Amino acid sequence: MTTRYRARPIEEAVLEELRVRDDAGRAPVPYTDGEGGAPLRCCLRTSTAGERIALVSYAPLRRWAASTGADPGAYDEQGPVFVHAEACGGPAEGGGYPFARAGVQRTARRYDARGHILGGRVLDLGEDPEGVIDGALAEAFADPGVALVHLRFVEYGCFQFEVRRP
């Protein structure tokens, strides 16, 4: 399936910073992933056993706001994300929506140009995960006040990826 919107990984310059000090001010502690399956936000795929990864605190809305001049106020938050411990080259081209699996749920949280939440929606990905995500993003961006959407895991509330207004 060709997706209409682009899932944005964490930018390489930001990753370089996070690999030194994360958004909570802590130095990361890289480790060798013994099992695989960690959702990597640097290359938008799951890790494989044996890869060096780190769990870091990341503030996606704060990072976006700093680049746009927005002030998300109390909507600013940070949370844990997995990244490769070293540069990985980012996602493969044409990868669709990462971490989209049949039968799981995700949330789509909408933000305006100030960085304030405009609403959100729980998505049941069903048998057509990419189609459901594509439809939810089309619905979100049909509202001219929506500047960006964050997809999140329902189970833990963790940031999955960001999509900006096309």
Per the domain annotation, does 42 fall within a domain?
yes
Q: Which two tokens stand for residue 96?
A: 């669709």
Q: What is the pLDDT along the chain (166 residues), one digit of tens a residue?
A: 567 899 999 999 999 999 999 999 999 999 999 999 999 999 999 999 999 999 999 999 999 999 999 999 999 999 999 999 999 999 988 778 999 999 999 999 999 999 999 999 999 999 999 999 999 999 999 999 999 999 999 988 899 999 999 8
- How far apart, in whole angstroms, are the C-alpha atoms of residue 37 and residue 74? 32
Q: What is the pTM (predicted TM-score) of this model? A: 0.93
**Domain membership of residue 78 as a residue range:** 12-84
- Amino acid sitting at position 11: E
In a domain, 62, yes or no: yes
Instruction: Please indicate, yes or no, if residue 48 is contained in any of the structural domains.
Output: yes
Asked if residue 118 lies in contact with residue 110, where contact means CB atoms within 8 angstroms, the answer is yes
Contact 126, 100 (CB under 8 A): no
Boundary of a domain, candidates 51, 84, 117: 84
